[in-house]
Structure 1
Amino acid sequence: MSQFCETCGEQVEPLHLYCSSCGAQAPMKTIVGSFAEPEYENPVYCCGCGKAAVKESAFCGWCGGDLYKKETAGTFFCPWCGGQAGAEAKICSSCGGSMDEWFAMKGAVAKELGYRGEFLLKEKMTGLTYHFRPGKGVTIGRAPDNDIPITCAWVSSRHGRIDGPKGFIEDLSSANGTYINRSPERIGKVPLHDVREFNVAGNFTFTLEKGPGLFAFRLTAILDEEESLKNGDRACFEALRNQYTILFEGDQALHIRKLDGHLTLSPDPAYDHYTIEVADGCYHYSDEKRGIRGVLLKKSRDNWPVNWVVKTGL
């Protein structure tokens, strides 16, 4: 009889007390039958209790400890071989493994197990789409191969671009211009920190959420909708209204309000939020209401909230 973690949905070994993926307590169920302690090929060992774990684990299934966090207690077990060692040991006397090397591996392990790079997250309840693009810019234009295609005759094929890592927005010599902050003067290239909103071709207004190395923007207004619909694609405009594009740089977090999909860097305590964090180059999510904190989003299976649809490798 298989058990599954009630927090992240990963399968839990029958005898384990904790989920090896997220560290949450395993379901309290009676398992019928006899089970031997699992044996693993090339296991890792918990530094806190010395028990073996499968190589792809992030937490110990027996004590719930973080496999890549050094214990400060007097008893310490080598993560390479499971042999007991002193809490201050740098090298295991049994196998010669380097303790410092092990704990420095956490980022590399996260990159091997977890999602990183680009992905698209759709929130089924609100219909909102979040397009995560760490380290990359975004192009805007009428051509369908733009990151934000606006199929309207007023928008140039290659209209403009946003460079998140370098922090600027630029008009690409478009016919009808790009404007910022409701100014009638069309821009050439301006720093993003000066921009509260930008307008494409005098008609499509996007608002920005900004933080250190993070830019999220969403279509919030079509200034002359009746005329736009004569020259463009209504379905395209509706899709843009429901899409955030997000550029991440460095380790940080953002919060998605469950009520309406509002994106914020500072969560409002009056509402419940999902939290998306970037750490070790990978994505983690938290849901405080359900007791989920910093779960690595793994490549191996979908351990996402049930109301999210995720596509990767965009």
Structure 2
Amino acid sequence: MQKININDFKVSSQVDIKNLPTFVDLNADKKQVEKALRTVSKDLADIQNTMYAHGKYAVLMCIQGMDTAGKDSLIREVFKEFNVRGIEAHSFKKPTDIELKHDYLWRHYIALPARGKFGIFNRTHYENVLVTRVHPNYLMYENMPDINSVDDVTEKFWERRFEEINNFEKHIADNGTIVFKFFLNISKDEQKNRLLRRLNKPNKHWKFSPDDLDERMLWDKYQTCYEDAINRTSKPHAPWFNIPADDKPTARYLVAKILYDTLKTYSDIKEPELPAKEKANIGMYKQQLENE
């Protein structure tokens, strides 16, 4: 199986989304890739256990992608080895009435993981510069003081919103949250195939909505918005990774490998030691238990 360099997938300079791969060949069959994923997932779970005990860092994993990109199944497969106490997943849907009473970042801020935990955002704060950019009329629900009509949504508005997102991520990174952002990059042809599978399998019908086809008609516009968002917000403290997602097992393995290889570079993540007095008395504690 081909070894990967995670930097090959990190966005560290301006990109043209049309040139980003949606498929990568690891020179391995499905079983080999799934076996490699199980291994790295277990190793990743061990790191999370150490992080939980250490209590100094949190991990925020942000997942974005077009419909059918494989977000839900990726979360299931990558994190199946985790202790449930150390992981929290949030799937952000249409904002509720209460959420709309606050600024657009509020619901994401209150969902951030505590130190020692992994947090997963399935769809993220980037919806606010993707969906709302494709459908600017959605912004009217936010009832912002300076936006009274779609005509008020200018380029200056988007520049401000990107700056706010960058500041949000810099703030949490400076305070101990390790940020990963994954763009599950699926081709239009593969999305078509996956939508057809949903329609051809009765047990998958619940996943399908006619809205999926409406949004597919806006594919090019979404791609332009993704490209702009990635280029404006891939920073050293919160990098984007392009994950070729036409093959689901490969995409899952890449995400797990990127998480593991990055976290292994944090030499200060280690299990805390017992206080000196308690450590010196370990023999006594053992003897006390054995003599019960």
TM over 0.5: no
Computing the radius of gyration from Cα coordinates, the structure with the larger value is 1
Q: Between Structure 1 and Structure 2, which shows a larger proportion of helix residues?
A: 2
Report the TM-score when normalising by structure 2. Answer: 0.26
Q: TM-score, normalised by structure 1?
A: 0.24
| Between structures 1 and 2, the one with greater strand share | 1
Higher relative contact order (CA 8 A, sep 6+): 2
